């Protein structure tokens, strides 16, 4: 689980926009960039090269 206060200050390193936490996938999602950043052992990995691209059906 991500601390809600941390989620308030984290932004996408590519677009500088807010992120959405997907608890099921353990990812922080950037809708603007179309990327999902992994959360490993409770630590967000905010490196674009570690992010996966969102599929068409995953964007809101």
5-60 residue pLDDT tens: 999 999 999 999 999 999 999 999 999 999 999 999 989 999 999 999 998 777 76
- Please state, in angstroms and rounded to a whole number, the distance separating the CA atoms of residues 37 and 58: 14
Task: Extract the tokens encoding 9.
Answer: 């200050």
Q: Does a structural domain hold residue 9?
A: yes
DSSP lists the bridge partners of residue 27 as: 22, 38
Question: In this predicted structure, what is the pLDDT of residue 58?
Answer: 73
Q: Does a structural domain hold residue 58?
A: no
Q: Indicate yes or no: pTM above 0.75.
A: yes
Can you give the residue range of the structural domain that contains 28? 4-53
Q: Does a structural domain hold residue 23?
A: yes
Confidence band, pLDDT 50/70/90 cuts, at residue 1: confident
Q: Does a structural domain hold residue 41?
A: yes
Q: Does a structural domain hold residue 25?
A: yes
Q: Does a structural domain hold residue 60?
A: no
Number of independent structural domains in the chain: 1
Q: Does a structural domain hold residue 59?
A: no
Burial group, residue 28, by CB count within 10 angstroms (0-12, 13-18, 19+) = buried
């Amino acid at each position: 689980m991500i601390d809600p206060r941390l989620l308030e200050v984290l932004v996408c390193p590519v677009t500088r926009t807010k992120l959405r936490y997907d608890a099921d996938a353990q990812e922080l999602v950037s809708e603007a960039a179309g990327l999902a950043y992994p959360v490993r052992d409770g630590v967000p990995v905010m490196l674009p090269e570690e992010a996966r691209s969102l599929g068409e059906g995953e964007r809101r």
